[in-house]
């Protein structure tokens, strides 16, 4: 249990760790590309370690070393899918950014693959992705409950053609399918169905595929044409930009208790949709300044509001804790997929916010938060969810302070989080 006592001010700058979403995509694309790729500033965390370990088991040759920019991974690409003589079991923890893309890539590879993970992973759906892959000829079997991992995959050729995929539960299903389709035997027209979520993450995937030499034709927001029988090409060196989701905790600290807090590694030039978090803080009353690769936030008189945060569901959790320091209620809607993340985040956030004295209404797709007159000291459960631990760190700016259980769950994406966070906190 980590006790965070009252800090009256936030000020300073933070060099963000590399984006998990970009790192795991880039690791996989580099492994399938022709040529050697040098990935710089790769996030060294549980989730990226699961991807790297899986690639090693799949026969990918790579070396890694730490330098001044972080972790450097030098990968020898396979110029296509994976091929193993026998079978491989890949343990992927609770890393959705490893489980979903590898499911698609291995369905188009040669060999027998068993994909396993932590118990929570077996509660996170993967059915829409499997359904789409099966329509293209994939041989995938559920080992426990239908629609969920663990999976047994007999690699085969994907046929291409036309396929639809439900994009209402997770954009990762769409991203995984898109990244695997260049391995198909022909071009594929992909149609997205359902109420789409996290669209910026799909755009992020398309941008990365382009960096690795595959141009996807985007007809509109629901239709894509992916070239088949295509080979990813190494870009040579690729630098993973800072994690915009992780930036949210520091930017919110500036909005609540700044001073000025500056994050370096994301900004106007960022590929990530979560940079829009700063725009929400500005709407709430914070002072925001933008650069190409940095964002600065200073304190303002924060006001609650009504926000549709479908496009930035991870960073949206930070708005929920920031709401405790705002005047008036805050309503967060259109984030149903919180329920499908590392934990049921809607229920978890409602439960833990109430411990502070807040009045919280839990909807099917969001929360309404009425801040208390005085924030109470709370012992916050984290549900083995890194973002629960990080977003509740903001309660250090309440005079009562906060206690956070199982704070080491941050190792999933940001092992040095509390060290970096404490560096911007002052009395």
Q: Which of 222, 257, 290 is the last residue of a domain?
A: 222
Check whether residue 78 and residue 165 sit in a common domain: yes
Rounded to whole angstroms, the Cα distance separating 251 from 148 reads 36
So what's the pLDDT on residue 388?
97
So what's the pLDDT on residue 311?
94
Task: Considering the candidates 314, 364, 365, 406, report the single residue annotated as catalytic.
Answer: 314
The alpha carbon torsion through 405, 413, 317, 244 (nearest 10 deg) reads: 150
Tens digits of residue pLDDT in 309-358:
999 999 999 999 999 999 999 999 999 999 989 999 999 999 999 999 99
Annotated binding site for 3-phosphoshikimate: 20-21, 25, 170-172, 198, 314, 337, 341
Catalytic (active site) residue 166: no
User: What is the percentage of the chain residues whose pLDDT exceeds 70?
Assistant: 100
234 domain residue, yes or no: no
pLDDT surpasses 90 at 69 = no
Check whether residue 36 and residue 6 sit in a common domain: no
So what's the pLDDT on residue 84?
94
Check whether residue 378 and residue 409 sit in a common domain: yes
- Number of domains comprising the chain: 2
Check whether residue 138 and residue 34 sit in a common domain: yes
pLDDT surpasses 90 at 38 = yes
Tokens coding 327: 């005047």
So what's the pLDDT on residue 151?
98
Range of the domain at 43: 20-222
Percent helix, percent strand, percent coil in the chain, to nearest 5: 35, 30, 35
Check whether residue 158 and residue 282 sit in a common domain: no
Annotated binding site for phosphoenolpyruvate: 20, 96, 124, 172, 345, 387, 412
- With contact defined as beta carbons under 8 Å apart, do 416 and 17 qualify? yes
Check whether residue 107 and residue 196 sit in a common domain: yes
Check whether residue 38 and residue 80 sit in a common domain: yes
379 domain residue, yes or no: yes
Tens digits of residue pLDDT in 181-231:
999 999 999 999 999 899 999 999 999 999 999 999 999 999 999 999 999
pLDDT surpasses 90 at 70 = no
79 domain residue, yes or no: yes
Check whether residue 12 and residue 41 sit in a common domain: no
SS3 label, residue 259: strand
So what's the pLDDT on residue 389?
98
């Amino acid at each position: 249990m980590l006790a965070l006592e009252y800090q009256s001010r936030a000020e300073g700058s933070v060099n963000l760790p590399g984006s998990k979403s970009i790192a795991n995509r880039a690791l996989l694309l580099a492994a399938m590309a022709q040529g050697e790729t040098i990935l710089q500033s790769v996030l060294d965390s549980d989730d990226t370690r699961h991807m790297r370990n899986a690639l090693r088991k799949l026969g990918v040759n790579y070396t890694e070393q730490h330098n001044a920019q972080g972790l450097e991974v030098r990968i020898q690409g396979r110029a296509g899918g994976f091929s193993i003589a026998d079978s491989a079991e890949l343990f992927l923890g609770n890393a959705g950014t490893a489980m979903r893309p590898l499911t698609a890539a291995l369905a188009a590879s040669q060999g027998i693959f068993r994909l396993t993970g932590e118990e929570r992973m077996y509660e996170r759906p993967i059915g829409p992705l499997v359904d789409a892959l099966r329509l293209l000829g994939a041989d995938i079997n559920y080992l426990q409950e239908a629609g969920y991992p663990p999976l047994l995959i007999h690699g085969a050729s994907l046929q291409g053609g036309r396929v639809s995929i439900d994009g209402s539960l997770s954009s990762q299903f769409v991203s995984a399918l898109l990244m695997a389709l260049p391995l198909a035997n022909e071009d594929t027209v992909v149609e997205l169905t359902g109420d789409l979520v996290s669209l910026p993450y799909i755009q992020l995937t398309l941008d990365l595929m382009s960096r690795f030499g595959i141009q996807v034709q985007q007809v509109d927001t629901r239709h894509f044409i992916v070239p088949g029988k295509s080979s990813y090409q190494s870009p040579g060196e690729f630098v993973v930009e800072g994690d915009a989701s992780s930036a949210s905790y520091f930017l919110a600290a500036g909005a609540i208790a700044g001073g000025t807090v500056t994050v370096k590694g994301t900004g106007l030039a960022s590929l990530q949709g979560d940079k829009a978090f700063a725009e929400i803080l500005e709407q709430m009353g914070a002072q925001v300044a933008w650069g190409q690769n940095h964002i600065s936030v200073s304190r303002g008189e924060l006001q609650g509001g009504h926000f549709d945060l479908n496009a930035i569901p991870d960073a949206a959790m930070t708005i929920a804790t920031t709401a405790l320091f705002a005047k008036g209620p805050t309503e967060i809607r259109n984030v149903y997929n919180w329920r499908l993340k590392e934990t049921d985040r809607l229920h978890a956030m409602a439960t833990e916010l109430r411990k502070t004295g807040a009045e919280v209404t839990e909807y099917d797709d969001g929360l309404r938060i009425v801040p208390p007159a005085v924030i109470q000291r709370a012992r916050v459960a984290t549900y083995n969810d890194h973002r629960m631990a990080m977003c509740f760190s903001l309660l250090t700016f309440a005079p009562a302070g906060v206690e956070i259980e199982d704070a080491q769950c941050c190792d999933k994406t940001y092992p040095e989080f509390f060290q970096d966070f404490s560096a911007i906190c002052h009395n």
